[in-house]
């Protein structure tokens, strides 16, 4: 066995599994060993997408796909020319796991369960002869003078690191010891906590198309907003948290957001819509007189905030109150004091500095023979399947090896 090339893959998540499978596919003569520190494999895959696994996004242009990454888009544009979303769809479909596309572009297994993805990956690993070692943490990688690496007394010709992100910079100390520079990690997908705002009483409501801006910055995103018992979440908020990850961390997660609940930037258009709806709502109670696509319970929150009684006939609402309501619809302001992260689906920005990795091969520019894949890199995407796509892509490329 000593004459057989040995490849170590560290990390039993999406990127690690795909790297191991790629190595086994491209180098069937090699012995591929996957090390996982815990007793569970693919744990993030299992819980992602509410247990359905948001495998990728229906965005099949590498150039467009790369624009969904707050950090790493430029480098991933090259990588996606090698393996991108269409390749992911083909890979799983050809192995008996067809994917479906939802209206927002997210792609899930047709079976509607993450277990379909897990079973597929584990089956492929068995069929490819990948050796999996559970409860086998790798705490140090020692490059050898004669080439290759020592992992706790065992020699490997190549090592692929796919250990995922870390909430603390110290989690990367073992890679710093190899000479790599680490971008300090901070959360990049989180919800906004608003402990002093009464809107949290409307938890569970979804406003379908809002524009959320962070005051004092250029950060702005449009999309659904979910009201939670602690504040706000949903695609618009999560995208903001990703693009503003470092700036919001510097602010201590204390800032103000300005929300346009209608997703319309032209106030005159909103006034025209209201004027057009007036004949039909004039005699209605204010609580029942919403001309826009807003949840009724949310509309009640807004009219109360504007000082309009719910039983007041719309025709009796004064000009001052109407103007206040229009301002709230387009420029509602809330105070954010903290964040909440998804512990099971924890995503960070930070990790191995991108300039120290060749994204055509995922090989370290510092340590020859060492490769990286997935969130251990300073690469992260917005919500919607983009982080998994980066994992599949970088894992596939890393596994090609020289």
Nearest C-alpha neighbor of 232 from the set 186, 188, 199: 199
What pLDDT is recorded for position 391?
A: 98
What pLDDT is recorded for position 2?
A: 56
**Whole-Å CA distances, 148 to 142, 369, 394:** 9, 7, 21
DSSP 260: E
DSSP 351: E
Cα separation, 58 vs 73, in Å, equals 17
Nearest C-alpha neighbor of 88 from the set 59, 112, 67: 59
Query: What percent of the chain clears pLDDT 70, i.e. is strictly above it?
Result: 98
Q: Residue 353 contacts by C-beta under 8 Å, 6 or more apart in sequence?
A: 180, 181, 182, 183, 378
Q: How many helices and strands, by DSSP H and E, does the chain display?
A: 13, 22
- 152 φ/ψ angles, rounded to the nearest 5 degrees: 50, 45
What pLDDT is recorded for position 343?
A: 58
* Beta-bridge partner residues of 193: 231
User: Domain map of the chain by residue range?
Assistant: 6-187+345-400, 190-341
Residue that is written with structure tokens 């009640």 in the block: 300
Cα separation, 70 vs 65, in Å, equals 12
Cα separation, 181 vs 258, in Å, equals 37
- pLDDT, averaged per 10 consecutive residues of the chain (402 residues), comes to 86 98 98 98 94 98 98 98 98 98 97 98 98 97 97 97 94 97 94 96 97 97 96 96 96 98 94 93 95 95 96 95 97 97 72 98 98 97 96 98 94
Half-sphere exposure for 397 (CA within 13 Å, toward CB): 26
**Chain CA centroid to CA 190, Å:** 10
Q: Count Cβ atoms below 10 Å from residue 253 Cβ, excluding itself.
A: 17
Cβ-contact 378, 210 below 8 angstroms: no
Cα separation, 109 vs 220, in Å, equals 31
Nearest C-alpha neighbor of 287 from the set 307, 316, 311: 311
- CATH code of the region 6-187+345-400: 3.50.50.60
């Amino acid at each position: 066995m000593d004459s057989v090339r040995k490849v170590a893959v560290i990390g039993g998540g999406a990127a690690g599994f795909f790297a191991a499978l790629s190595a086994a596919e491209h180098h069937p003569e090699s012995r591929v060993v996957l090390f996982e520190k815990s007793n569970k494999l693919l744990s993030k895959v299992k819980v992602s997408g509410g247990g359905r696994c948001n495998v990728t996004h229906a965005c099949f242009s590498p150039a467009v796909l790369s624009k969904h990454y707050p950090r790493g888009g430029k480098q991933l544009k090259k990588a996606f020319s090698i393996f991108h979303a269409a390749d992911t769809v083909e890979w799983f479909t050809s192995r008996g796991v067809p994917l479906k596309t939802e209206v927002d572009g997210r792609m899930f297994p047709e079976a509607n369960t993450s277990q379909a993805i897990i079973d597929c990956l584990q089956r492929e690993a068995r069929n490819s002869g990948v050796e999996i070692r559970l409860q086998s943490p790798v705490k140090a990688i020692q490059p050898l003078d004669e080439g290759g690496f020592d992992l706790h007394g065992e020699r490997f010709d190549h090592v692929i690191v796919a250990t995922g992100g870390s909430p603390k910079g110290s989690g990367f100390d073992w890679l710093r010891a190899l000479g790599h520079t680490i971008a300090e990690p901070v959360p990049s997908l989180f919800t906004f906590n608003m402990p002093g705002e009464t809107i949290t009483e409307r938890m569970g409501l979804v406003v379908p198309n809002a524009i959320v801006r962070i005051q004092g910055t250029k950060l702005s995103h449009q999309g659904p907003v979910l009201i939670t018992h602690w504040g706000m979440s949903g695609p618009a908020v999560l995208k903001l948290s990703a693009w503003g990850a470092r700036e919001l961390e510097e602010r201590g997660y204390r800032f103000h957001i300005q929300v346009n609940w209608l997703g319309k930037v032209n106030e005159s258009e909103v006034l025209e819509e209201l004027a057009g709806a007036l004949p039909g709502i004039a005699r209605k109670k204010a609580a029942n007189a919403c001309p826009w696509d807003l949840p009724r319970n949310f509309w009640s929150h807004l009219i109360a905030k504007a000082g309009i009684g719910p039983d007041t006939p719309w025709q009796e609402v004064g000009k001052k109150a109407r103007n206040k309501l229009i301002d709230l619809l387009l420029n509602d302001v809330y105070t954010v004091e903290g964040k909440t992260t998804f512990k099971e689906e924890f995503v960070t920005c930070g990790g191995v500095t991108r300039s120290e990795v060749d994204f055509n091969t995922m090989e370290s520019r510092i340590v020859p023979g060492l490769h990286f894949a997935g969130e251990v890199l300073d690469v992260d995407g917005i919500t919607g399947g983009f982080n998994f796509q980066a994992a599949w892509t970088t894992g596939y490329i890393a596994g090609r090896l020289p």
